[in-house]
Amino acid sequence: MKTYNKIFLPFFAIALAGCASASKTAEVNAESDLAYCNEKVHAALSHLPADTTVMPRNIQGDAREWACRPVCAEEWCSGFWPGVLWYDYEYSQDPAIRAAAEQSTRSLAPILQQPVYDHDLGFLIYCSYGNAYRLTGDDAYRKAIVNAADSLATLFNPAVGTLLAWPRHVKDFGGHNTIMDTMINLEMLFFAAKNGGNPYCYDIAVSHAETTMNHHFRPDGSCYHVAVYNPESGEFLRGCTHQGYSDDSMWARGQAWAIYGYTVVYRETRDPRFLDFACKVTDVYLDRLPDDMIPLWDFDDPRGLDAPRDASAAAVVASALLELENYADDTHAARYHDASRAMLRSLGGEAYRSGDANDAFLLHSTGHHPAGSEIDASIVYADYYYIEALNRLRRSEQNAGSPQLAYK
């Protein structure tokens, strides 16, 4: 057993019990929560620079406004703010929000003219251009996504069967590196394959998912952050971490990427192997959650409940489960239904909602803990997956009996 601060833990336990009690009695009101997000978006836009070649990244400490970073291929979070704006436009139908979404999305265009930097091209383009196309039908957005998918596909190594995540780190890891985050970026390949792009993108996505399923997970369904392969023979060399507590730990956001990613892969393939696996990687995550349903940044941090939480991982999983519940058997579906709502109740409660503290939606996310970066911060991708989840919930409630309408 771990030793905790004897003064802090009883207080924290009482606070958690209160959160748990509240989460069991309060309902998730998607309309109300989306109205809150809309208010925060307007506040943020009033404070952000007019120059959309910089995008919100985080709010740390006592700061109230977004810290921005230049839009570039190296800044993997550049696509999330445009995505937030598109989701807010979906809810609000506000022409001013649409104009802001269009302008910020256009700011990513130079990235499309460059050789692919790494796997994050999927985050950059699909979260922005993908939502733009879904909501407007403008063919220019579709063409941009297809072109981006072609670029992403150049990272595929047929000998290994996966996309190379970080070309710049091949020597550092001693081989072809694949990270769990890349599972999210398969969605762009699937989209391209069925929307006028190269059909080979589908094959790449399936190969990546299969190879990752075979090598990137422990027997209990928890994942490594990084899998390293021999780039010539394709031999799996080892699993390790980059952002988790240790090579053998379960990093919360990595597991969240797996849950979301395999849900998408099942949607696009309808292969029951991927549904079974999506449920497996979900269950090991749910089994280890604390009472308020918001994970520690890494489930194996020896500080236990004294460790920082990661609201971003909770937002990713809540969004994924709103879809996965529609595919799973009745027992799993009921569990995922209840879990997604419980996560959204916690995220929308006083403990995690930013309220008047700053311009973000959420508090208490963790970025790169081993590097001491963005610990207990508001981070833009947490807000992205939170507003995505709320829109999915709202759509599913409006289209009862047609859950597929809630997804791309």
User: pLDDT tens, 100-140?
Assistant: 999 999 999 999 999 999 999 999 999 999 999 999 999 99
Cα angle for residues 199, 204, 207 (degrees, 5° grid)? 130
Instruction: Determine the angle formed by the axes of helices 30-47 and 380-398, rounding to 10 degrees.
Output: 140
Of the pLDDT bands very low, low, confident and very high (cuts 50, 70, 90), residue 354 is very high
Q: Where would I find the H helices in 26-79?
A: 30-47
Query: What is the model's pLDDT at position 14?
Result: 37
Is residue 120 flagged as an active site residue?
yes
Is residue 338 flagged as an active site residue?
no
Q: Is 155 part of a structural domain of the chain?
A: yes
Radius of gyration for the alpha carbons in the chain, expressed in angstroms and rounded:
20
Q: Is 16 part of a structural domain of the chain?
A: no
Query: What is the model's pLDDT at position 406?
Result: 58
CATH code where residue 99 lies: 1.50.10.10
CA 158/CA 198 separation, integer angstroms = 16
Query: What is the model's pLDDT at position 400?
Result: 75
Report whether pLDDT(381) > 90: yes
Report whether pLDDT(404) > 80: no
Task: Tell me the average pLDDT across 259-286.
Answer: 98
Contacts of 243 by beta carbon, 8 Å cutoff, 6+ apart: 225, 251, 253, 254, 368, 369, 370, 371
Report whether pLDDT(362) > 90: yes
Q: State how far the alpha carbon of 380 is from the alpha carbons of 59, 78, 288, 307, in Å.
A: 9, 9, 25, 21
Helix H or strand E encompassing 14: helix 8-25
What are the φ/ψ torsions at residue 47 (nearest 5 degrees)?
Answer: -105, -20
Phi/psi class of residue 150: alpha, beta or left (left: φ > 0; alpha: ψ in -120 to 50)? Answer: alpha
Q: Is 4 part of a structural domain of the chain?
A: no
β-pairing, 226-229 with 176-179? antiparallel
Report whether pLDDT(405) > 70: no
Helix H or strand E encompassing 276: helix 272-286
Query: What is the model's pLDDT at position 200?
Result: 98
Is the CB of residue 364 less than 8 Å from the CB of residue 354? no
Query: What is the model's pLDDT at position 7?
Result: 32
Single-letter amino acid, residue 374: E
Report whether pLDDT(346) > 80: yes
Q: Which residue has the tokens 């918001």?
A: 294
Q: For 194-212, what is the HEC assignment?
A: HCCCCCHHHHHHHHHHHHH
CA 398/CA 280 separation, integer angstroms = 29
Helix, strand, coil % over all residues of the chain, rounded to 5 = 55, 10, 35
Q: Give the count of beta carbons closer than 10 Å to the beta carbon of residue 306.
A: 15
Q: Which residue has the tokens 């569990």?
A: 335
Q: Which two tokens stand for residue 38?
A: 């809309």
Query: What is the model's pLDDT at position 205?
Result: 98
- The mean predicted confidence, pLDDT, of the chain is 93
Task: Tell me the average pLDDT across 64-75.
Answer: 98
Query: What is the model's pLDDT at position 399?
Result: 86
Q: What pTM did the predictor assign?
A: 0.93
3-state secondary structure of 304: helix
The count of domains in the chain is 1
Contacts of 169 by beta carbon, 8 Å cutoff, 6+ apart: 177
Is the CB of residue 377 less than 8 Å from the CB of residue 369? no
Query: What is the model's pLDDT at position 282?
Result: 98
Cα angle for residues 134, 314, 42 (degrees, 5° grid)? 55
Catalytic residue among 33, 88, 118, 181: 181
Task: Tell me the average pLDDT across 211-223.
Answer: 98
Query: What is the model's pLDDT at position 11?
Result: 35
Catalytic residue among 33, 88, 118, 120: 120
Q: Which two tokens stand for residue 113?
A: 């003219």
Query: What is the model's pLDDT at position 407?
Result: 61
Q: Is 17 part of a structural domain of the chain?
A: no
Q: Is 2 part of a structural domain of the chain?
A: no
**Residue 21: exposure state from Cβ atoms within 10 A (0-12, 13-18, ≥19):** exposed
Q: Is 21 part of a structural domain of the chain?
A: no
- Strands (E) in 152-295, as ranges, are 156-157, 162-163, 176-179, 226-229, 236-240
Report whether pLDDT(345) > 50: yes
Query: What is the model's pLDDT at position 322?
Result: 97
Report whether pLDDT(17) > 50: no
Is the CB of residue 374 less than 8 Å from the CB of residue 60? yes
Phi/psi class of residue 69: alpha, beta or left (left: φ > 0; alpha: ψ in -120 to 50)? Answer: beta
Per the document, the length of the chain is 408
Is the CB of residue 239 less than 8 Å from the CB of residue 245? no
Q: Is 242 part of a structural domain of the chain?
A: yes
Report whether pLDDT(359) > 80: yes
308: DSSP letter: P
- Domain carrying residue 258: 26-406
- Looking at per-residue pLDDT, the higher value among 9 and 202 belongs to 202
pLDDT digits (tens, 9 = 90+) for 163-196: 999 999 999 999 999 999 999 999 999 999 999 9
Query: What is the model's pLDDT at position 15?
Result: 44
Q: Give the count of beta carbons closer than 10 Å to the beta carbon of residue 115.
A: 8
Of the pLDDT bands very low, low, confident and very high (cuts 50, 70, 90), residue 16 is very low
Q: Is 152 part of a structural domain of the chain?
A: yes
